[in-house]
């Protein structure tokens, strides 16, 4: 696999507390442990500015995030509305079973 493919956000990312899974159709799911708490919400990504907007089911609630990659398997996310940068680290989930939902 090429390094360019790894630099895309598509896939599942997790840390000790939570996980996000981003799909090609610009939707995402998220949860904690094996519990899926959010499914099929839209996201918008600006690869030039390194910004990620994640929409929710609450009207006018959008998470405005800054992202960056560290290597091929680490994703750092920071809330753009914070006055101080505080990146949260997520790791790419490898060798997962394919998601069986219709995406």
pLDDT of residue 26: 97
> Does 100 map to a domain?
no
> Does 64 map to a domain?
yes
50 closest CA partner among 76, 25, 23: 76
* Contact (Cβ atoms closer than 8 angstroms) between residue 90 and residue 15: yes
CATH number of residue 36's parent domain: 2.40.128
Cβ neighbours around 29 below 10 Å, total: 19
pLDDT of residue 3: 41
User: Which DSSP state fits 7?
Assistant: T
CA 101 from centre of chain? 18
* Contact (Cβ atoms closer than 8 angstroms) between residue 54 and residue 69: no
Answer yes or no: pTM beyond 0.85: no
pLDDT of residue 25: 97
> Does 98 map to a domain?
no
73 closest CA partner among 53, 50, 93, 49: 93
What domain range is 10 assigned to?
A: 3-92
Which parts of the chain sit beneath pLDDT 70?
1-6, 96-103
> Does 20 map to a domain?
yes
Question: Could you give the CA distance from residue 65 to residue 3 in angstroms, rounded to a whole number?
Answer: 23
Q: Which residues, in sequence order, are CB contacts of 82 under 8 Å at separation 6+?
A: none
Question: What's the domain count of the chain?
Answer: 1
> Does 101 map to a domain?
no
Question: Could you give the CA distance from residue 103 to residue 90 in angstroms, rounded to a whole number?
Answer: 23
pLDDT of residue 97: 55
């Amino acid at each position: 696999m090429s390094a360019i493919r790894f630099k895309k956000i598509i896939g599942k990312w997790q840390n000790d507390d939570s996980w996000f899974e981003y799909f090609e159709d610009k939707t995402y799911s998220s949860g904690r442990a094996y519990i899926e708490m959010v499914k099929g919400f839209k996201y918008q990504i600006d690869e030039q500015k390194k910004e990620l907007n994640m929409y929710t089911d609450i009207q006018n609630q959008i998470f405005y995030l800054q992202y960056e990659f560290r290597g091929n398997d680490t994703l750092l996310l920071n809330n753009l509305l914070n006055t101080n940068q505080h990146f949260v680290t997520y790791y790419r989930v490898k060798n997962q079973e394919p998601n069986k939902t219709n995406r």
